[in-house]
A and B are shown apart, each in its own frame.
Chain A
Amino acid sequence: MLAWTIYLSFAGALACLLTPRANPRATRAVAFGTALAGLVCGLMGAVQFKPVNGLEVITHVRWIPALGIDFSLAADGISVTLVLLTGIAAVAGVLFSWNVERRTNEFFAFFFALIGGVYGVFLSLDLFLLFVFYEIAIVPKYFLIAIWGSTRRDYAAMKLALYSFIGSGMVLIGMLAAYVVAGQVADMHGFDLVSLAQVPFPPDFQRWVFPLVFVGFAILAGIWPFHTWAPTGHSAAPTAASMLLAGVVMKLGAYGCLRVAMTLFPEGLKMWQHELAALAVTGIVYGALVALVQKDFKFVIGYSSVSHMGFVLLGLATLNLVGLSGAVLQMFSHGIIAGLLFAVVGRMVYDRAHTRELDALEGMGLARAMPFAAVTFVIAGFASMGMPGFSGFIAELQVLIGAWQAFPKLAILAGVGIVIGVVYTLKTTAQVFFSDKPAPAEAHDHEHPLEPISVPERLGAALLIFCTVLIGLQPRLLLDLIVPSFQSPLFDGLRKVAGL
């Protein structure tokens, strides 16, 4: 069932492309159907999910026998969690792109090509296959931003594409080296992740190949100092694309770190654990501080994404069960919350006010003009700050507990990052929506009132709010999926190194 998410998305991309250009309604219908079908498949897969040893093999077909490459798909609880996230983000993304009128069919074709690639990464059990899907996701991102984007879209799109490609290049080198070395030390010729995880790679090899692969993936997760693609990319992208970028694509990177770098080279992780944690915490604090001084609404959210993704990386570096499962939970949580934030900023505010300058928005009295947007943003802001009752709280708490056990000093710094997060979120909310400042003179000129919030937007916001509250109140729903995953043979080496 889970595998259908991939096939349906690619089929949906093709179907969207073939709908007539002059009829965006038909395209939207196809797109919404595809996204919904993907989510339903994901949900059914989650309900029927029956792992053996923490892993459920879905498909296993020989693909390129000459190099030991298989078309093998499998899911553990982590994959299921992220597949669900992707499904939700896709549905919300379509709902918030309802107003795309220019080249609608191509827009949704690229959109679903990206979604299909993302599903594929989360479900691949073969390293080669995983890499193929990972790269499939790069090109659509470029076109989504370059064609439908806003400010400095050329620059942002190219920067994003090149950063992603450089990251995947690093992964490719590590992957080839691992393939060759596995052949030398264990006579293992292939890319099956479970078998590769059992190969005892020499420590000297892990010392250089682990950081290569980890950072390669982490570039996409926005690891400091390679995060600069994220704010520019997010702000230039059309709403649905920023939702996907922050919500799902950054998770691809973090997932790659966990699924490939950490399982294959656990000793390398042990060697670099402290450096990685330091980078992660730097990202948390730096992202939050920079968000504090931004003038562009979208850049605030962009940098807050960098900051929150720092928690994911910190959780991964802790090497204990609380931290690791917290990291996965944070991936899900941030995916939902960032999607919601970008939806408010990009779709509800920018598409109507046609500006994202905080100073300009200040005078518009948006809370009165768009109460729905204001309420949504307040909820999303609370969730993002880590208020209890929302998913962000439980996820970041777990990461902090894990980090406290592993490196207490850094955990305190990360806590400071959370406090700064509260400050910039409240400051921005107050400035944009609840400011008393009178509108500047020229703002009175435009007479026509802001167009009301449409039904698809309300639906999308409701879906995302529901998810973050549900997981905030019932984190077990996901934790029961995530925690047993670490018992699968994929994590044998990691468990041994971490002493779990």
Chain B
Amino acid sequence: MNSADYFQLFSALGPEVIVVLTALLVLAADLLGLQDTPRAYRMSIAAGLTTVGCAGAVAWMFMNRTTGNWHGGMFVIDPLNETVKAVILLLTVFTAMLSTEAKFTRHCGEYFALLLLATVGMMFLASTEDLLMIFASLELVSLSLYILVAFDKSSRESAEAALKYFLFGGMSAAFLLFGFSLLYGLSGTTHLPLMAQKLFTVGADPLLTVALVMVVIGFGFKVAAAPFHLWAPDAYQGAPLPSAAFIASGSKVASFYVFAKVLLLGFSQLGWGNEETATGGWIPLLSIVAALSMVLGNLAAIQQTSVRRLLAYSAIAHAGYMLIGFLALGDEAFASLLFYVTTYALTTIGAFGVLGVVEAQVGGDKLADFAGLARRAPVLAGCLMVFLLSLAGIPPLAGFFGKFYLFAAALTNDGHNLPFLWLIILGVAMSCVSLYYYLQVLKQVFVVEADENARPLAVPFLSHAVVVLLAAVTVLLGCMPGWLLDTIHTAIGELGW
């Protein structure tokens, strides 16, 4: 390994370097220069720096379009990874903008620095094909997120949520590491594509099934799929709002992408298992997890009176839908999954944006706090309608096309005659259930009248702008899904998997 290689690697790592430097800069600027200025000012400066840094990273990626593979898959740059990284950076920017109004902390610099460090972790997660790197970056993401959840030091719920998130996360990391170590033992490599070949030649081995189950459990925790979802409702409810939004959006995108990579690349030959030797594949396993998540998430969401918990359970349900995307196998699985998770993340962060305004101005996230929002903040109410209906899968919004494409891709899985029809039927039936609870929220917003003395909400400009922008994106991606879809398809096409 000569020095030229390191220089190349450094330039390939440009976006990550930029984000890390931004994190340090935010920290330094806040600690050294701004301690005496008002909090709103410090927050704005930090959010501004974050935005500039993320934009710089995206610009770097688009200006130096390279592809490459360093150290046997440790660090991989390809068009698909870059797309995912761009999406993650975008979500970070939105989170940062929603954070500016937050009043839960005096430690502005640390907060944004941690946000950026989590982002770096996600970016590494997106651009590696190596088990060790996956684990290391997953830990970077998780540790940053644990602290972000605990950031509201004056709130007991925040601490409780962080502790739960931490304990469950730690356990899932253990499962994952155990699974990875078994995989390494069986195949002798940590590089995913190489591992897939080795595992295929290893043949039937009960240890392989154990490893597979461990990996699914580990990632199941990360993406909050049932029955590994228990941390999610508490974390969503207790965490400071921007942190919850980031867990629901950025972390979802990165975790699902890497989960798909591990299963679809690393276990590419073992989908259906091997009937002769009675080794289980991951497809039956995953269909069960998907079905459980859809049923449990949707049914539990009906009961909720807190909108944050409702969104948490709906996130579990959506994790179930996304797992169906895996079953499409190959290119279509990646394309449908990425489209879905991207639109889902944008929609969710928008919903959290509205939620943030309501919490700040009305004082809670109960369903009743949304009463008469249509009168008190008409634009926000309209946007919330767009977000929730998109989550429910009503056309012409992005969520509908996402679901449609996901289901179509899973059904098209060739070689079998409509293999996952039962799962699709379950998914559609559960969407009907989900419409019920989304309409419960919208009923409060549009049908129920506010109190006599309820005033119009004073919506901060930035929140307004972000929410409206996201609603517009949700509508546009629903009407013109081709924009995002073609980008993803082209990127996958260039990979030639």
Residues of A within 8 A of B (CB): 63-67, 106, 128, 131-132, 135-136, 138-139, 142-143, 146-147, 154, 158, 161-162, 165-166, 169-170, 172-173, 176-177, 179-181, 183
Contacts and interface: CB of A to CB of B under 8 A. Distances in A.
Nearest to A167: B432
A176 to B, nearest CB: 5
Contacts of A132: 395-396, 400
Given A158-B436, A165-B432, A180-B411, A65 B395 contact: no
A394 to B, nearest CB: 37
A106 B372 CA distance: 14
B447 interface: yes
Interface string B424-461: 11001101100110010001001100000000000000
Contact of B432 (A169, A177, A180): A169
Contacts of B227: none
Given A139-B389, A154-B443, A176 B432 contact: no
B447 A146 contact: yes
A67 B394 contact: no
Closest 8 CB pairs of A and B: A132-B395, A169-B428, A180-B411, A146-B447, A165-B432, A135-B395, A166-B432, A165-B435
Given A135-B400, A180-B412, A169 B395 contact: no
Contacts of A131: 395
B52 interface: no
Given A146-B447, A169-B431, A139 B481 contact: no
Contacts of B412: 180, 183
A65 B432 CA distance: 28
A29 B291 CA distance: 51
Contact of B439 (A64, A128, A158): A158
Contacts of A63: 482
Tell me which of A106, A177, A180 has the highest count of chain B C-beta atoms within 10 A of its own C-beta.
A180
B395 A139 contact: no
Interface string B307-351: 000000000000000000000000000000000000000000000
Given A128-B404, A173-B425, 14 more contacts: A64-B485, A131-B395, A135-B394, A136-B395, A138-B394, A158-B436, A162-B432, A162-B436, A165-B432, A166-B432, A169-B429, A172-B404, A176-B407, A177-B411
A66 B486 contact: yes
Given A143-B446, A173-B425, A67 B408 contact: yes
Contacts of B424: 173, 176
B489 interface: yes
Interface of B: 374, 389, 394-396, 400-401, 404-405, 407-408, 411-412, 418, 421, 424-425, 428-429, 431-432, 435-436, 439, 443, 446-447, 481-482, 485-486, 489
B445 to A, nearest CB: 10
Given A147-B447, A177-B418, A136 B396 contact: yes
Contacts of A172: 404, 407, 428
A65 to B, nearest CB: 7
B482 A147 contact: no
A161 B394 contact: no
A172 B404 CA distance: 8
A64 B489 CA distance: 12
A138 B394 CA distance: 9
A128 B403 CA distance: 13
Contacts of A66: 482, 485-486, 489
Nearest to B478: A132
Contacts of B447: 143, 146-147, 154
A197 B425 CA distance: 24
B408 A176 contact: yes
Contact of B481 (A64, A173, A176): A64
A4 B443 CA distance: 32
B405 A67 contact: yes
Contacts of A161: 435, 439
A135 B446 CA distance: 20
Tell me which of B401, B404, B485, B486 has the highest count of chain A C-beta atoms within 10 A of its own C-beta.
B404
A135 B411 CA distance: 22
Contacts of A147: 446-447
Contacts, number: 78
B482 A64 contact: yes
Tell me which of A106, A154, A158, A176 has the highest count of chain B C-beta atoms within 10 A of its own C-beta.
A176
A66 B396 CA distance: 17
Nearest to A172: B428
A138 B442 CA distance: 14
Given A66-B489, A132-B396, A169-B428, A176 B443 contact: no
Given A132-B396, A135-B395, A135-B400, A176 B485 contact: no
B303 to A, nearest CB: 16
Contacts of B428: 169-170, 172-173
Contacts of B489: 66
A66 B409 CA distance: 11
A64 B432 CA distance: 25
A154 B421 CA distance: 34
Contacts of B486: 66
A66 B482 CA distance: 8
Contacts of B401: 64
B439 to A, nearest CB: 6
A176 B395 contact: no
Contacts of A138: 394
A106 B432 CA distance: 25
Nearest to B414: A184
A64 B400 CA distance: 14
Contact of A65 (B405, B435, B443, B482): B482
Contacts of A181: 418
A28 to B, nearest CB: 20
Contacts of A180: 408, 411-412, 418
Nearest to A132: B395
Nearest to A128: B404
A56 B282 CA distance: 50
Contacts of B436: 158, 162
Contacts of A142: 439
Contacts of B425: 173
A260 B418 CA distance: 21
Contacts of B405: 67
A65 B481 CA distance: 10
B322 to A, nearest CB: 17
B335 to A, nearest CB: 8
A224 to B, nearest CB: 21
18 contacts: A66-B489, A106-B374, A131-B395, A132-B400, A135-B394, A136-B396, A143-B447, A146-B446, A161-B435, A165-B435, A166-B429, A166-B432, A169-B432, A172-B407, A173-B428, A176-B408, A176-B411, A180-B418
A147 B444 CA distance: 11
Contacts of A143: 446-447
Contacts of A166: 429, 432
Contacts of B429: 166, 169
B175 to A, nearest CB: 35
Contacts of A136: 394-396
Contacts of B404: 128, 172, 176
A222 to B, nearest CB: 19
Contacts of B400: 132, 135
A173 B420 CA distance: 12
Contacts of A183: 412
B221 to A, nearest CB: 30
A64 B443 CA distance: 33
A211 to B, nearest CB: 14
Contacts of B395: 131-132, 135-136
Nearest to B433: A162
Contacts of B411: 176-177, 179-180
A463 B117 CA distance: 68
A71 to B, nearest CB: 10
A66 B421 CA distance: 22
B24 to A, nearest CB: 42
Given A66-B482, A176-B407, A176-B411, A146 B432 contact: no
